């Protein structure tokens, strides 16, 4: 294995060990070995379960999807693509079967844990719509806050006139964000404030920020959020498996 070539560059053969040494030089060797370990653990877990059957139809559908996405309609186009990838039709099927089993494993591991994850991390997943005014001096922020307490409806006008951030052009309106993305000093005051409240000033983005609470947005378990949660749960599962591994490196 040490002398076995894995690629040729300008007619010079590169051995497996040489390739690893190059990776070490640029600092990518740890990531390389991590990916190997992760794939090993996934495939070992797949072997231990009898619920991850993939039908021939599933594999053929995956091949159709690849051909469609890559514009490989004609058989000769598909054959040329396989050659470019140094694959045969059978090796592609084998690769796709492994990939589909890994996806099925991920679903099997994560699906029962999504709802408990939501319940445990509810505060991190709460979203809010805010408007803001950011000025350079604390005294200016305090003066503006006093004006807003007397005339709350003037928030947008004041934001347009005095705020330093780009959202002044839309009267200080910010895109909805997770409350957990706010600076820690602002999270709890915002979380307990009713809509319409003026919070701050807080030190933020090199200035002093006043926030107006517009609307609390209920957690919506859409496909994007569900996939983010699924990825996080699966990464945690992998990390726990990795922590139990005894690994010894022999090639370098």
Q: Structural domains in the chain?
A: 5-114+232-243 (no CATH), 127-217 (3.10.50.40)
Which pLDDT tens digit goes with each residue over 166-216? 999 999 999 999 888 888 889 999 989 999 999 999 987 779 999 999 999
Alpha carbons 224 and 221: distance in angstroms, whole number:
8
Q: How far apart, in Å, do the first and last CA atoms of the chain sit? A: 12
Tokens 């497996």 -> residue: 16
- Residue 4 has a pLDDT of 76
pLDDT by residue for the chain (252 residues), tens only, comes to 556 777 888 888 888 888 888 888 888 888 888 898 999 999 999 999 998 999 999 999 999 999 999 999 999 999 999 999 989 999 999 999 999 999 999 999 999 999 999 888 887 888 899 999 999 999 999 999 999 999 989 999 999 999 999 999 999 999 999 888 888 889 999 989 999 999 999 987 779 999 999 999 888 888 888 999 999 999 999 999 999 988 887 765
User: Would you list the DSSP string of 30-93?
Assistant: HHHHHHHHHHHHHHHHHHT-SS----HHHHHHHHHHHHHHTT--SHHHHHHHHHHTT--HHHHH
3 state SS of 106: helix
Q: Determine contact, residues 133/172, Cβ cutoff 8 Å.
A: yes
């Amino acid at each position: 294995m040490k002398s076995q070539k894995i690629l040729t560059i300008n007619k010079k053969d590169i051995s497996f060990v040489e390739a690893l040494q190059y990776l070490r030089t640029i600092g990518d060797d740890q990531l390389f070995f991590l990916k190997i370990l992760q794939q090993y653990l996934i495939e070992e877990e797949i072997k231990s379960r009898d619920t991850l059957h993939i039908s021939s139809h599933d594999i053929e559908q995956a091949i159709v999807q690849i051909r469609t996405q890559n514009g490989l309609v004609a058989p000769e186009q598909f054959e040329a693509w396989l050659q470019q990838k140094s694959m045969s039709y059978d090796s592609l099927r084998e690769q796709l079967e492994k990939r589909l089993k890994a996806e099925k494993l991920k679903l099997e591991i994560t699906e029962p844990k999504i709802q408990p994850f939501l319940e445990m991390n509810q505060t991190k997943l709460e979203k809010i719509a805010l408007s803001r005014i950011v000025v350079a001096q604390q005294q200016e922020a305090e003066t503006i806050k006093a004006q807003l307490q007397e005339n709350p409806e003037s928030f947008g006008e004041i934001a347009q006139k005095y705020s330093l951030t780009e959202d002044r052009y839309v009267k200080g309106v910010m895109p909805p964000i997770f409350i957990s993305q706010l600076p820690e000093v602002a999270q709890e005051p915002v979380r307990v404030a009713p809509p319409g409240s003026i919070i701050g000033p807080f030190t933020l983005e090199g200035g002093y920020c006043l926030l107006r609470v517009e609307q609390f947005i209920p957690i919506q378990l859409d496909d994007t959020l569900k996939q983010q949660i699924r990825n996080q749960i699966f990464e945690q599962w992998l990390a726990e498996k990795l922590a139990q591994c005894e690994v010894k490196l022999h090639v370098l």
